[in-house]
Amino acid sequence: MDGYKMARSKNQKLKLIYLMELLWKQTDEEHVVSMQQILAYMESKNIHAERKSIYDDLEVLRSIGWDIQNRREHPAGYYLKNHLFSQQDIHALVNTIKSSRLLTARKSKEMTEIIKRLCSQWEAETLDGKIYVTDRIKAMNESLSLNIEVIHKAITRNREISFRYTGWEKAEDGNLQKIVDAHYASPWAITLTDEDYYLTVYEDGRIRQYLIGQMNYIRMTARMRKGQEAWKEFDHDRR
């Protein structure tokens, strides 16, 4: 068998996979592929296919739960009716990701591209440009994201953290003055409240909470966390 025939024979084993790819990426309730288009797609992949074999493959996919419909009216053809998420679900997910204060611009883009693979290419094209977030906000998110990553790592490894906390207090003249304090604390939970992230810690014998956006120079230390019993007894509804 020459090289061309060997390659073509090997590709035949991928026919079902390519059919799945075609239906997943290029079809939905508004976009169908005809049998002629399916056969042409297989030829582009160096696969010889006949109508009967495609019919059989479609039935195999239906048998494992793929909701493949055959539209009779114009435009006639086959399409995958249900992807993992509905178009409304996909838009909600992408809008949430793009508007998240925690995610950086790079991470938002990466996650949006992943979600696009969950729907057809036609649905994916409708996801761009729905929500715009300023570079200033996303630059702030970069620092917040890195800080939360350090805190998560400390919680996972059961370690204390050190940080500086920026607060404000009223001076004798009535004006607010900036206060920066150094802290060593045992982190126990991160909470999102009214679009702000708070860290619950055990420090100086009691449970406290800090606004993560006001924490700087966060470092994981070699000290083991303390306050497990206090954390268990803490009223979590206050978070």
pLDDT digit string (tens) for 102-133? 677 778 888 888 888 888 888 777 766 444 44
pLDDT above 80: residue 24: yes
Lowest mean pLDDT among 14-23, 62-71, 74-83, 174-183: 174-183
Lowest mean pLDDT among 110-124, 147-161, 206-220: 110-124
Could you tell me what percent of the chain has a pLDDT over 70? 85
Please tell me the predicted confidence (pLDDT) of residue 132.
47
Mean pLDDT, the chain, as a whole number? 83
pLDDT above 80: residue 176: no
DSSP states along the chain: --HHHHHHHHHHTTHHHHHHHHHHHH-BTTB-B-HHHHHHHHHHTT----HHHHHHHHHHHHHTT--EEEE-SSSPEEEE---SS-HHHHHHHHHHHHH-SSS-HHHHHHHHHHHHTTS-HHHHHTTTTS----HHHHHHHHHHHHHHHHHHHHHHTTEEEEEEEEEEEE-TTS-EEEEEEEEEEEEEEEEEETTEEEEEEEETTEEEEEEGGGEEEEEEEEEEP--HHHHHHS-GGG-
pLDDT for 59-98, tens place per residue?
Answer: 999 999 999 999 988 889 999 988 877 777 887 788 777 7
pTM score of the predicted model: 0.51
Please tell me the predicted confidence (pLDDT) of residue 227.
95
- Report which of residues 52 and 138 the model is more confident about: 52
Which residues, in sequence order, are CB contacts of 69 under 8 Å at separation 6+? 78, 79, 80, 81
Which residues, in sequence order, are CB contacts of 213 under 8 Å at separation 6+? 144, 196, 197
How far apart, in whole angstroms, are the C-alpha atoms of residue 112 and residue 106?
A: 10
148-170 mean pLDDT:
90
pLDDT above 70: residue 231: yes
pLDDT above 60: residue 135: no
Confidence of residue 140 (pLDDT cuts 50, 70, 90): low
Helices 105-116 and 135-156 pack at an angle, to 10 degrees, of 80
Lowest mean pLDDT among 77-86, 139-148, 198-207: 139-148
Tokens standing for residue 219: 């470092």
pLDDT above 50: residue 136: no
